[in-house]
Structure 1
Amino acid sequence: MKIDVLTLFPEMFSGVLGSSILKNAQEKGHVSYSVTDFREFTTNKHNRVDDYPYGGGGGMVLTPQPIFDAVESITDGEQEANRRIILLCPQGERYNQKKAEEFAAMDHLIFICGHYEGYDERIRQHLITDEISIGDFVLTGGELGAMVIIDSVTRLLPGVLGNEFSAVTDSFSTGLLEYPHYTRPSDFRGMKVPDVLLSGHHGRIEEWRRKQSLKRTYERRPDLLESYDLTDEEKAWLQNLEKDKK
């Protein structure tokens, strides 16, 4: 996968893209990152990327010219079929694991990170494919949101994680929150690992994990159950949870 970022602050990305799993993913050839300062594409003598909004109002608005030119320089001669151009914006679709999986299937992702009051509307209407928000709060720019999405997408690429099963069983990937984990020692200061995990009985362990996953989702994120297709067995477990709550 190829990932491009357009930003006015490229130095913000060096630590994130040059560390941990993201760094390893690039070194192993699973992904390539490129960060571009779109100020370099301005055509005015003062290198301005923003201007006052028509009609008045507070704040400055990013102008279309440098962003259009920067994107076109990156995509010149490239097929559009498997590419997404993503605008980080508080007005955008709220990001989730399903969207991460959708992006992970692409060959090329381009992130546009804005600052100031907003974007010229023509950027939204004629350039991008997706508007994404990472939550109902406002940041000083789109850079942190882009980093979050890049991390969540990169770890889904084949070969990036050492244990391929881990991405499949992550919270939200199955539709439920992940079950509790334990490791050695089995008894730490009197706090013991559940006996079933020490039993060696894989069937019982799997059932315990499924029940715990459902229980944790019911207690912490019941909204996820609204779109989750429960099996008959899970429905029975959920009924018992509801009874215990009463």
Structure 2
Amino acid sequence: MNFHILTLFPDMVLDGLHTSIIGRAVENGLISIEAIDIREYSTDKHRHVDDYPYGGGAGMVMQPMPICDAYDDLCDRIGKKPRVIYLTPQGTVFSQKIAEELAAEEELVFLCGHYEGVDERALELVATDYLSIGDYVLTGGELPAMVMIDCISRLVPGVLNNDVSAEFESFHDNLLEYPQYTRPEEYKGLRVPEVLLSGHHKNIDTWRREQSIKRTYERRPDLLKDAALSKKEQEYLESLAKKPENQDIQEENCKKGLAIDNSL
């Protein structure tokens, strides 16, 4: 899988992405990450790529020509027009489901805005997707691009040492991941749950699944409406809502419209 990042700060994204698991994936040829410096396509002798906004206002706006020229040059090199993601708080919030969809692409382009944004004509000409990593404003699109590339890369076969781990991490079946433990068996009076020491794989799988449901109920109940649960697991979820120690959680979920329907 090939990632192309249109940016004013190529060193920032390359330094961040050429480390740890993603860096090893690049070294092993499983993915490639290219940072394209938009300034290289400026016709200004000072390599300016921004100007004052028409109509007035604070800040500067990135000009359309350097962006479009950089994109056109990329298309000529790879022989196709790839999907282009513009990183903006106005976009759809990035999720694991979107990551799985994007992981099916062979080429992905990330357009990183800066200053007060990008000339709308550039977006009309090249952008295919508008994505955000949250409802807040950053100084540029580089950090969101790095977040998304990290997430998507983990879904490329071979990137993780154990490909099964990508399937059972947080958000599998719209549930959070179960608690994890390692040696020692006891630390500061806290013991590893006995079921994990039993060697009984079916019981371990059941415990982990229930812990995922419980953790999602306690921390991210909004995910449960789309969770893939069996009838028995649905009954377990309803039992959580009935426990006295969970009444505060249930009341808070009611306020948010996320209460578990005990009549199911």
* Residue aligning to 2:36: 36
| One-letter amino acid of the counterpart of residue 155, structure 1 | R
| One-letter amino acid of the counterpart of residue 192, structure 2 | V
Q: Deviations over 1:221-244 (max 9, x none)?
A: 000012223321111001110001
* Residue aligning to 1:132: 131
* Residue aligning to 2:8: 8
* Residue aligning to 1:79: 80
* Residue aligning to 1:172: 171
Whole-angstrom CA distance in 2 between matches of 1:240 and 1:212: 13
Cα drift, residue 174 of structure 1 = 2.6
2:105 matched to 1:106? yes
Higher mean alpha-carbon deviation, 106-115 vs 5-14, is at 5-14
* Residue aligning to 2:47: 47
| One-letter amino acid of the counterpart of residue 3, structure 1 | F
| One-letter amino acid of the counterpart of residue 52, structure 1 | Y
* Residue aligning to 1:26: 26
Q: Deviations over 1:165-217 (max 9, x none)?
A: 10000101331000001111111222101111111111111110010000000
Whole-angstrom CA distance in 1 between matches of 2:15 and 2:65: 29
Whole-angstrom CA distance in 1 between matches of 2:227 and 2:55: 46
Q: 1:182-201, aligned counterparts within 5 Å?
A: 182-201=181-200
Cα drift, residue 14 of structure 1 = 3.1
Whole-angstrom CA distance in 2 between matches of 1:110 and 1:24: 21
| One-letter amino acid of the counterpart of residue 239, structure 1 | E
Normalised to the residue count of structure 2, the TM-score between the two structures is: 0.89
Cα drift, residue 113 of structure 1 = 0.8
Q: Is the 8 A contact 1:98 1:173 kept in 2?
A: no
**Gap regions ≥5 residues in structure 2:** 248-264
Q: Is the 8 A contact 1:177 1:213 kept in 2?
A: yes
Whole-angstrom CA distance in 1 between matches of 2:36 and 2:124: 22
Q: Is the 8 A contact 1:16 1:22 kept in 2?
A: no
Higher mean alpha-carbon deviation, 46-55 vs 127-136, is at 46-55
Find the residue that maps to 2:177 and give its secondary structure.
coil
Whole-angstrom CA distance in 1 between matches of 2:172 and 2:97: 7
| One-letter amino acid of the counterpart of residue 19, structure 2 | S
Q: Is the 8 A contact 1:5 1:112 kept in 2?
A: yes
Cα drift, residue 29 of structure 1 = 1.0
Cα drift, residue 124 of structure 1 = 2.2
Identity %, equivalent residues: 54
Cα drift, residue 98 of structure 1 = 0.8
Q: Is the 8 A contact 1:10 1:35 kept in 2?
A: yes
Q: Is the 8 A contact 2:173 2:228 kept in 1?
A: no
Q: Is the 8 A contact 2:86 2:127 kept in 1?
A: yes
Normalised to the residue count of structure 1, the TM-score between the two structures is: 0.95
RMSD: 1.2
* Residue aligning to 2:61: 61
Q: Is the 8 A contact 1:2 1:109 kept in 2?
A: yes
Find the residue that maps to 1:215 and give its secondary structure.
helix
Find the residue that maps to 2:109 and give its secondary structure.
strand
**Gap regions ≥5 residues in structure 1:** none
Find the residue that maps to 2:137 and give its secondary structure.
coil
Whole-angstrom CA distance in 2 between matches of 1:182 and 1:119: 47
| One-letter amino acid of the counterpart of residue 162, structure 2 | N
Whole-angstrom CA distance in 2 between matches of 1:56 and 1:93: 28
Find the residue that maps to 1:118 and give its secondary structure.
coil
Cα drift, residue 17 of structure 1 = 2.2
Whole-angstrom CA distance in 1 between matches of 2:208 and 2:130: 36
Cα drift, residue 164 of structure 1 = 0.7
